[in-house]
Chains A and B, each alone.
Chain A
């Protein structure tokens, strides 16, 4: 157990590297954390900018069911390490290449959740909106998007947690994230390795909690109250899970 104590000490107090000369740990972890968050924000941002409009459109016109489900199935079958390795071998190392690989990783959950979010909107609501004279874009912006927001944020939550986890292996592609003490070991020592693992784990849990709060906050008040209960056997207490850990 003292190993955990030493690791936590590494996280909070800088020390001389085992090779001498430079300092590691403590505040020296901040640039690594910054790079980790920068990589995550860039990847999920780009993925959301691509996947959300595409899935809103597909869901609105009611096409692309096959695309939305197969994207997530294929995404699950390709291991993140294989994806990063593929990019390193074929495109080389660097921030842009890693970002691109992580964008591919982040798209499926957002795409599938947004699509499902739009499709599960009650068709009668959409008909009512049309009857009130709303145009196609207005239906998307004022009816389908708000009602799909909880699921869209669910997709973002999965992607963010996945990308935080996978950004840990980014040092293999020359991007120095919090994974560096874990993968490179060496100058950081065993305390650094365990300490960084603890920080990455805490970061993922923090992101999960943050998005759980956001997800609750964006849920339109109208659907937060329990609707008149359908018969118990028609109301699954839990939706079957469709997401993957990382």
Chain B
């Protein structure tokens, strides 16, 4: 995708040099225009970051709670996956509109939808993480006299970290993508900028590029967190 983008961008650039017309009139890729209008993207970018981070934190809190409950009562796993799975299937753009008669227009509506989308990914990965904890490690913990609660926090949760962080990485990039449609719920974000001038190449490249850059930045940050938190296992790309 980036290779294609840079080739196209390059083609635009050389074309402009040949014709000598105003770049914006020609609808080219215009570094000058971008430099002059850079600050119109700051507020949408911050809104985008805010939507993504709040949805991730709220989603993680809910998913962890659900996973802790379902960890001891395994029969709950099926129903929780089924319900969050249905939420996950609903197209985000439709949900942003369907929620509006109930929760109104604005950031709350967008956050409810974005949080709901993270639940399936996070819940499944947390449970998968618990399942992958070796029985020997738990036995060793019990042998050291740990109670169930201590075992959970000191052994199981820590050994489940690789899967949990893998889930967070997927949820983060996914949420960045879904938040581009949050402007339909009146919550702003970079998608609004893309939508506002969808045929102007410079605008689309900058706003779209910022979305991709944000997704990559969050992914790299979480990968870094994994390396710090899980020193015994070098991060495996999932």
Contact = CB atoms under 8 A, between A and B. Distances in A.
Contacts of A104: 1
**How would you classify the secondary structure of chain A's contact residues: helix, strand, loop or mixed?**
helix
B94 A197 contact: yes
Contacts of B180: 79-82
B95 A81 contact: no
B25 interface: no
Given A82-B211, A90-B8, A194-B97, A238 B177 contact: no
B201 A90 contact: yes
A82 B181 CA distance: 10
Given A86-B208, A200-B93, A245 B135 contact: no
A169 interface: yes
A3 B105 CA distance: 14
Contacts of A205: 86, 89-90
A235 B92 CA distance: 33
Contacts of B237: 69, 73
Interface in A65-95: 69, 73-74, 76-83, 85-86, 88-90
B199 interface: yes
A81 B125 contact: no
Given A200-B94, A237-B131, A245-B117, A82 B204 contact: yes
Interface residues of A, number: 51
Contacts of B120: 241, 245
Contacts of A132: none
Given A82-B207, A88-B198, A245-B178, A165 B1 contact: no
Given A1-B101, A89-B201, A205-B89, A242 B211 contact: no
Given A77-B212, A82-B212, A85-B194, A244 B94 contact: no
A208 interface: yes
Contact of B125 (A86, A172, A235, A240): A240
B203 to A, nearest CB: 8
B200 to A, nearest CB: 7
Contacts of B100: 194
Contacts of A151: none
B215 interface: yes
A66 B93 CA distance: 32
B238 interface: yes
Given A81-B191, A236-B132, A237-B77, A245 B88 contact: yes
A7 B142 CA distance: 58
A90 B170 CA distance: 29
Contact of A233 (B94, B121, B135, B195): B135
B174 interface: yes
Contacts of B131: 233, 235-238
Contact of A161 (B5, B89, B170, B215): B89
A238 B121 CA distance: 11
B110 interface: no
Nearest to B5: A86
Interface in B133-160: 133-135
Contact of A244 (B170, B191, B199, B211): B170
B199 A246 contact: no
Contacts of A242: 170, 238
A175 to B, nearest CB: 14
Given A79-B176, A198-B98, A241-B170, 5 more contacts: A78-B1, A237-B128, A238-B81, A239-B124, A245-B89
20 contacts: A1-B101, A74-B1, A78-B1, A81-B181, A82-B207, A86-B208, A89-B199, A89-B203, A89-B205, A165-B93, A201-B91, A204-B89, A204-B91, A205-B90, A233-B131, A233-B135, A238-B127, A239-B128, A240-B124, A245-B178
Interface of A: 1, 3-4, 69, 73-74, 76-83, 85-86, 88-90, 104, 161, 164-165, 168-169, 172, 179, 182, 193-194, 197-198, 200-201, 204-205, 208, 231-233, 235-242, 244-246
The 5 closest A-B CB pairs, nearest first, are A165-B91, A82-B208, A79-B177, A197-B97, A197-B94
